[in-house]
A and B are shown apart, each in its own frame.
Chain A
Amino acid sequence: MIEIKDIHKSFGDNNVLQGISGKFESGITNLIIGGSGSGKTTLLKCMIGLHHPEKGTVEYDGREFTTMTFQERIEIRKEIGMLFQGSALFDSMSVEENIMFPLNMFTEQSRSEKLDRVNFCLKRVNLEGKNKLNPAELSGGMKKRVGIARAIAMNPKYLFCDEPNSGLDPRTAIVIDELIKELTEEYNTTTIVVTHDMNSVMGIGDYILFLHEGKKFWEGSKEEIAHTDVAELNDFVFASRFMKAAKGKF
C-alpha cells in the first residue's frame, strides 16, 4: 500500500500540486486521472522520487520515502517497476538485455536463471521469442509490453505506469490495460496508472483519484465516476460526444 499525504510541488511560481493526499491499496488498479497540466505526472514523479515535493510525505507500506537518502531509497526502488509513457527502453540493448538489466544489476543469479526469468516475463506479455530484437524493430504496442516485462522482471511490489496506452490503437490499448490489471491481481502489486484515457478509466479503474488544477477533486471507483455530480469531473469524463451519448447507459 502506498499512502501520500499533503503533497505540494511547485516549479517557480507555478503551484503544480496543492496538498494531494490519497491511499493506493495493493491488488487493485489505482488510477490517477486528470486533464493535461493537471499535475498527474508530477504527482507520479514525486511518488517515485524523480521530483522532490516541497511538503508532504509518501509512504511505501509505512516506510517514509520522501525523507530517505539516495542510498536508503535503493531498497524500495528495487521493489518498484515502472512503465514509462515512451517505454524508455535502452536503445543500445536488445529486448533480452533490457529485461535482464535489473537482474544483472541487483541479483547474483546465474545467466541461465536470468534467461529463464526473461523468457517468463516475455511469455507473460505475449512476446515469446522476441529476445534478440532491438527496440527500434518493435511497434509501439510491443515496446510497451517489453516495458512491462522489464518492470516486472524483479517481481515488484509497486508498479507505476505513466500513460501506458498513449499513442496506441484502441485494441492494443485495451490489451495493455488488461495486462496491467492481470499482473496486479496475479502478484498483488500496488499498481498506480496515470492516464487520461476514458477506456482505461471505465475498464480497469478500481480506485480513481481525479486531479484538477493541481488539487484532488474527487476519488472513487469506476462505478461511482459515472454518477458523480462534480462538475469538473463530469466535464473531463464526458468531454467526448460518444461519452456524452453513453452517459445515461452507465
Chain B
Amino acid sequence: MNFTNFGKYILLLKAVFKKPEKTKIYLKAIFQQMNFIGVGSLGLISIISTFIGAVMTLQIAFQMVSDFVPKTIIGSVNRDSSILELSPTISAIVLAGKIGSAISSEIGTMRVTEQIDALEIMGINTPGYLILPKIIAGITMVPMLVIVSMFLSITGGYLGGTLSGAVSAADYMLGITTDFNPYTITVSLVKAFVFGFIITSVPAYEGFYVKGGALEVAQASTRAVVVSCISILACDYIVTQLLL
C-alpha cells in the first residue's frame, strides 16, 4: 500500500464509522456477517489448529531429545507457542484467504455492477452499510475463533504426542499446567482483535475502489489477500513488541 492508498483507506474508515441510518438493519447485517465469518470458518480453523498442535508436539519432542530436558517442556512450549503465535497468526492468515477474498469479491462485484451506485443514490452511506457490519463481525468473531484454535491446538498436541508416544499423557498435562501465565491469553486476544480488523477492512477497501470488470475484481481479491497477510505479519511484530 503506498501513501495515497493508505490515505484513501483512512478516509474510507472515517466514512465507515459514521452513524448508521437504521440500527436494526445494521444489526441484522452484523449477525449475518458473524455467522459467515465465525460459524462459516469454524470447521477450517478446527482442522488446521488440531493438526498444527499435533505437528508442533512431534517437532518439539524431536528437538528436545536430551536427558537434561524434562518431557513436560513439550507441553509448555506447545501451549505458549499456540497461544502466543500459532493460533492467532496462522488462523488470521487462513482467514485472510478465506474471508478476505470473499469480502473483496463481494464488494468489488457490487461496485462493477453498479449496486453500490444504486445504494448511494438512495442516500445510504455505502461504506457504513457494506463495511461496518463486516468489521464488527471480524473484531468479535476472530478472537472467538482464536480461542477455539488455542484449545484445539493444545488438544491436538495432546493427541499427536500421546498417539505417537512422543510424550506421555501425564507429562503433557503437567507441562501445559505448569507456569501458565494468563497474560499470554490477553496478548493473543489483542492480536486477534487487530487481525480481525485487518482481515475485514483491507479487503473491503480493495473491493470498494475496484474499477473495471471481472478481471479487476479478481485482481483486487488477490491484492486483498496479499496486503492483508503482510499487514497481519507486520502488526503481529508490532503488537508482540509492544505487549511482551
A residues engaging B (CB < 8 A)? 48-50, 70, 73-75, 77-78, 80, 82, 84-86, 88-91, 101-102, 104-106, 160
- Inter-chain contacts of A50 with B (CB < 8 A): 117, 120-121
Once A70-B125, A88-B113, A88-B115 are accepted as A-B contacts, the answer to whether A105 and B120 lie under 8 Å apart by CB is no
CA–CA, A84 and B109, complex, Å: 15
- Assembly CA distance A74 to B121 (angstroms): 9
Which chain B residue shows the least CB distance to A82? B121
The CA-CA distance from A74 to B109 in the complex, in Å, is 25
CB distance from A223 to the nearest CB of B (A): 32
Q: Which residue of B lies closest to A107 (CB)?
A: B22
- Contact (Cβ within 8 A) B117 A88: yes
B: interface residue count bin: 10 to 19
Max chain B CB contacts within 10 Å: which of A50, A74, A88?
Answer: A88
B117 touches A73 (CB 8 A): no
CA distance A138 to B120 in the complex (A): 24
| Pair B124/A105 contact, Cβ less than 8 Å | yes
Q: With the chains together, A248 CA to B123 CA distance in Å?
A: 47
**Does B242 interact with chain A (Cβ within 8 Å)?**
no
**B residues lining the A interface (CB < 8 Å):** 21-22, 25, 109-110, 113-115, 117-118, 120-125
Tell me the complex Cα distance, A49–B126, Å: 14
Smallest CB-CB separation from B115: which chain A residue? A88
* A interface secondary structure, majority: mixed
Say yes or no: B114 contacts A77, CB within 8 Å.
Answer: no
Q: What 7 pairs across the A-B complex have the smallest Cβ distances?
A: A77-B123, A74-B123, A88-B114, A88-B118, A84-B114, A82-B121, A88-B115
Say whether, besides A104-B22, A104-B25, A105-B21, A80 and B114 are in contact (CB < 8 Å). no
Task: Give chain A residues whose Cβ lies under 8 Å from the Cβ of B114.
Answer: 84-86, 88
Complexed CA–CA distance, A49 and B109 (Å) = 21
CB <8 Å contact, A102 and B122:
yes
Contact status A105-B117, CB under 8 Å:
no
Closest-by-CB residue of B relative to A84 is B114
The smallest beta-carbon distance between B115 and chain A, in angstroms, is 5
Contacts of A88 in B (CB 8 A): 113-115, 117-118
Q: Are B117 and A78 in contact (CB under 8 A)?
A: no
Contacts of B124 in A (CB 8 A): 105
Pick the residue among B25, B115, B122 that contacts A77 (CB under 8 A).
B122
Task: Judge whether A105 and B22 touch: CB under 8 Å.
Answer: yes
- The CA of A91 and the CA of B110, in the complex, are separated in Å by 8
Give complex CA distance A103, B110 in Å: 20
In the assembled complex, the CB of B38 is this many whole angstroms from the nearest CB of chain A, namely 18
Residue pairs across A and B with Cβ atoms less than 8 A apart, 10 shown, are: A49-B120, A50-B121, A77-B122, A78-B123, A82-B121, A84-B114, A84-B117, A84-B118, A88-B113, A88-B115
A93 CB to closest chain B CB (Å) equals 10
Residue of B21, B110, B120, B123 most packed against chain A (CB within 10 A): B123
Question: Which residues of A are found within 8 Å of B115, using beta-carbon distances?
Answer: 88-91
A90 CB → nearest B CB, Å: 6
Residue in contact with B123 in the complex, picked from A73, A85, A86, CB distance below 8 Å: A73
The smallest C-beta distance from B126 to any residue of chain A, in angstroms, reads 10
Among candidates B110, B113, B121, B122, residue contacting A105 with C-beta atoms closer than 8 Å: B122
Measured between beta carbons, the chain A residues less than 8 angstroms from B110 are 90-91
Q: Which of A48, A90, A91, A105 has the most CB of B within 10 A?
A: A105
